[in-house]
């Protein structure tokens, strides 16, 4: 694998996958979200979260709140933060109704709760988060680069702008929602600190830096193997 100056976090909710990647040196943290947790068949969130934390006691783990409103978000955030010293509480930049979570982000951060501010899509959202988190506790800023790219916009330009700013003291910028393993290179070029990858992309990490002529021959070999099983 190409040597790249970026931390890689596994993005999953399956306990078997977390256990498998917990011993991989290239994986230096874990993230998840309610969609992944539901897909993994989790029925009791707190029990599942404690199982995860027991598997990766020395690595940062971002755990989301489940509440849709600010009052209950705060209650859940303060409970989740107590689950372990390596926990970052995930909080979205806004609710689904468009209500800003910035006042709560600022309050929690200045109370020393490590945060992962998520679902950030725009430069203005990032600027507002940076201001709210000034002089607060440690945090991650998760820019959903993959989803931004899905709209036809260039996430690398946005992230490069964010990563060049001098505000990054206690905070780290995440390239989130990666769509291909090549996003690792783009995240490095943009100056990101972290990229989150699902297991399907983690498995492709050895492809980075691979000789293209060799890769071409291997691809043709796969086609030839499949062709042998076909009739004319």
Bridge-based pairing of strands 115-120 and 7-11 is unpaired
Tell me the backbone φ, ψ of residue 97, rounded to 5 degrees. Answer: -90, 0
Environment class of residue 214 by beta-carbon count within 10 Å: exposed (0-12), middle (13-18) or buried (19+)?
exposed
Active-site residue flag, 90: yes
Residue among 2, 90, 204, 210 flagged as catalytic: 90
Sequence-distant (≥ 6) Cβ neighbours of residue 186 within 8 angstroms: 145, 155, 156, 175
Give dist(CA 53, CA 85) in Å, integer: 10
* Residues tagged active-site: 90
């Amino acid at each position: 694998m190409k040597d790249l100056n970026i931390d890689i976090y596994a993005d999953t909710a399956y306990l078997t996958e977390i256990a498998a990647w917990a011993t991989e040196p290239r994986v230096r943290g874990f993230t998840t979200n309610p969609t992944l947790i539901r897909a993994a068949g989790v029925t009791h969130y707190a029990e599942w979260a404690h199982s995860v934390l027991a598997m990766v006691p020395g690595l940062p783990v971002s755990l989301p709140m489940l509440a849709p409103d600010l009052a209950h978000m705060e209650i859940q955030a303060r409970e989740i933060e107590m689950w372990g010293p390596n926990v970052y509480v995930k909080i979205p930049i806004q609710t689904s109704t468009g209500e800003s979570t910035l006042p709560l982000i600022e309050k929690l951060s200045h109370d020393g709760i490590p945060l992962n501010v998520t679902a950030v899509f725009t430069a203005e959202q990032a600027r507002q988060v940076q201001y709210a988190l000034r002089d607060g506790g440690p945090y991650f800023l998760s820019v959903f680069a993959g989803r931004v790219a899905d709209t036809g916009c260039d996430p690398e330009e946005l992230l490069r702008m964010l990563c060049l700013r001098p505000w990054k003291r206690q905070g780290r910028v995440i390239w989130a929602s990666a769509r291909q393993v090549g996003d690792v290179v783009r995240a490095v070029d943009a100056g990101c600190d972290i990229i989150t990858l699902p297991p399907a992309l983690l498995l492709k990490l050895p492809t980075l830096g691979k000789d293209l002529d060799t890769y071409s021959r291997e691809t043709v070999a796969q086609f030839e193997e499949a062709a042998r099983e076909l009739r004319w």
